[in-house]
Every structure is written in structure tokens, then in C-alpha cells.
Structure 1
Amino acid sequence: MRPLRVVIVEDEAATARNLARLLTAIDDKIAIAATLPSVAESVTWFSDQANSYDLIFMDIRLADGISFDIFKQVAITKPVIFVTAYNDYALPAFKNNGIDYILKPFDEQEIARALQKHNDFFASNRDEAPALAVEAMLQQISLLTRSYKKSFLIHFREKLIPVEAIKIAWFYTTNEIVYAHTSDARQYIMEFTMEQLELQLDPQQFFRANRQFILNRDAITEVDFYFNGRLSIKVKPEPAESILISKARVPEFKSWMNR
């Protein structure tokens, strides 16, 4: 049985080396076919080496652009496992298509699980299934490459007030009303639900801390350890209620903060 030929698309050399080491430690039959650091080099390599690999581990954000730009320039018909430093909201949709993703920092068990899923999903039909999976994945790309709201036009005292998204420190909901609290301590009532705001806000800048709060990265001043594995988040301006991150979401929050 020939080795599983893996291509790593990752612009951080140390991260690429670590991933390659983990992959070969998990399965000694894996061979690293190439390590590609950019969109441009990936397009060139995949154009010339269409049949020289079986699986791709691909970082989403590269030094010269978003890795999805690769798919716009060259046909990728083999399965992809995405690598990301934070949990993009659209990524779970890939799982339904035989595409997977893992979060940085890497966890060996997560990599092993993704590899096993790949083996199980494509074992029955290695030629056709990857193409179908990639085609389905491309339908999701627009969700991750969409432009996010730069400002909101908010109804306030019989006027419409433009408020820049970056100046909103946090969003808060109570009694089915959503409030936006700005960095200069002004408060506005929003016409969107928290779920709608999640889809409109840049996930690099805003994080859904819990059911009540969405936080702007720039508003976070301190992160404290809290009872039972949770985190307590301090923001400025300070809200009346405490902002807690559940134990289950702590890794995701840390990855988001460490990007």
C-alpha cells in the first residue's frame, strides 16, 4: 500500500514543521509531498502536480491572502483539512461534506481524528468522493470571504446615527433586547438579534463570549481565571454584569486571542 501523500499549506515555517512531525508520528505511512507557504506558490505547485498528492492540510489565512483564493485559480479535487487559529463560524459546515478542520495550537488527538475521518470517508470511493466534497465546500467559501459590517445605522432619539462597528466595545442582550455599548460609554438599542450580529461582525475582531455578550477584541483589558475552569473577562467600559467564558469555550477563546 502506497503512503498517504500530504501537502501542507502553511506560511509559518515552525508551525508547518510541527504539523509534519505530528502527522508522521501518528501514521508512519504518511509522506509529506510538499510544504507551501503562500497562495502564489500553492497555485503553481497544484497546477503542475495534480496527481502528486492525496490530502491537503491548509491554513486559511496566508501571508499573501486567504487560501480560498487558491481554489479560484486552480482545480483542487482532493480532500482538504483546514487549519485555523480560531473557530470561524462557517467551518462546521465543511464537516457535512467530508471536509474537516483543526484548530491551532495543534492537538495530536484532533489531527488523528481528522485523519481517521478522511480514511473512513474516502475509503469506498477515492476518485469521486473528494471532488464532490470540494465542490460542496466551495459553496461555503462565500461565507468566510464575505465582507463584514463596518458600521451600523442606529435609530436614536428620532434620528438615525451612524456608529462604526470598531467603536462598539460590546453587545449585550437582556429581556430579548440587544444593546450596543460603545468605547465612549454610549448605549444604543440594536434592531438585530445576537445571532444576526454574529453573522455580520468580523470574527477576527468580535467574539461571542456567551449567550449575553459579544466582545470587541480592543475592549478587553484583562482575563482572569475563574471558578470551575472558566475565565472572567474584563472590558472597558465595564458592564454591570460579569462576563464569563465557559470551560468548554476557553480553548476557542484563547486561540482567538492568540491569533
Structure 2
Amino acid sequence: MNVLVVEDERRTAELLTEFIEAKATYLVVQVLDSVEATVNYLKKHQTQIDIMFLDIQLADGQSFVVFEQVEVTIPVIFCTAYDEFVMKALKNNGIDYILKPFKEQDIYQSLAKVQNLQQALGKNHPNIPQVAQQILAQAPYPADQPTLQRSFLVRYRDKMVPVEVTKIAFFHLDNDTVHVYGFDGEKQAIFKRLDEIEAVIDRQLFFRINRQMIVNRVAVKDIEPYFNRKMVVNLHFAIPDKAIVSRLKVTPFLEWLERPR
């Protein structure tokens, strides 16, 4: 079966591909990382795809935009660090909904669910997504709620040191390594992906402004316009790169800043 993977975190896409292709009957034919690329690809090649694994938060916006521009007829397995999009996923060909960080077994269970539905109804039966929606709607899903993390282990010289979340100003991905920056100016490496971090931090306190950076609301000094309708977040101290809010995240970011904790 041909699988399309849409995921903007390279390591996550590689891991997902590895899990899928461990099953002999599945082949990942394409990996995409944006809404725009997915729309263009589906318009040309959807008939050659059997299943799509779709990340909800992509670099250029939420992947639900895809369904506004293309009539998607294939089953979709949504992957996300958030549990708040379940109902919206169900309305967009959602066969299953996997919370990040996912495990190998999560992927296989989703593939089995699609295969069982296809065997029961016929591979090209037009009601596969609708049947799946009815099944998912009857269960309290997702059952496992992520536990908010109060501290992270970081590498400091030759030791692992716990750092309280409230002391972290921002997380930054640089050269495939995520670093933690404290309000005291200290920088340490943390051996987790941004997706993993995003899944277990308080979203009232932290916001992922782009693919490389998650910022603490307390660290924000002010905001100024940037080209192409983006914005730059100025923090209370110097940082290695400009903290640029991607265009499609500007509105939710501003709303988040105004939202009371």
C-alpha cells in the first residue's frame, strides 16, 4: 500500500517512515512538509495513494486547509502533539488520531484499523472515513492525556541536570539539536525533539512560534512587524537568531499573549 507522509519535523518524518516501511506491504512514496506542497501533490497524485499520515501543525499553517482546497478521498491518520483537534480531524477523513510523541505500536494499530475497514467495506468504498468517524465518535478518544512536565533533564558538562520549566525562557532547534535557554542566560542541550517537548509543556505558558523555537510568555518583551506579514518577538535578553513568528501563526500568537493565564 502506498503511503503519503506529511510532517515538517525531519526526524519525526524519518521515524514515521521507518515504522511504516517495517511492514512489508507498506511503502512511503512521498514525504511532504507543508500545506502548499500537500495540496499540489494531492491534486496530481491522490489516486496513487492509499493512506495519508498528516501532521496537523505544519510550517505554513494547519493541515485542515488542505481539505478546503482538495477533495480528499483517501483515509487520513492525523498526527499531532495536541489533543484539541479530535473533532475537526473526524470531519476530514480521519481514520485515526495519534498523539505525539508516538510509539511504534501506535502506528501499527492505526494501519491495522485502516486495513480492517478496507477489508470489511472494500478498499475503494466511499464510506470508509464515515464509518471510521462513527467508530471513533463512540469512544472517549484520545484516552491518554499528556502529563505536563515540570522539569527537563539537560546536559551540563558531563552531568545531566534537571531544569524547572518555569526557569526556561525558550527552546531552540539549531543544527538538529534542541537547546534550552534559561532566564539566567545559560544554554544547555536537551535530547528531545521539539514535538516531544511541545506535547508535555503548558501551552498557556509556552507557544511554538515557528519550526525552530518555543518561547515562554514571560520572556516576551515586545513584538514588531516583519516582512511578509510575519512578526519578530523581542525577548528580554539577546538570542542567537531572530524570534520570527510565522505568518499563519501571528493571529493565534497575539491571541495567546492576550489570553489570561
Normalising by the residue count of structure 1, what TM-score does the alignment of the two structures yield? 0.50
Which one has a bigger Cα radius of gyration? 1
Normalising by the residue count of structure 2, what TM-score does the alignment of the two structures yield? 0.49
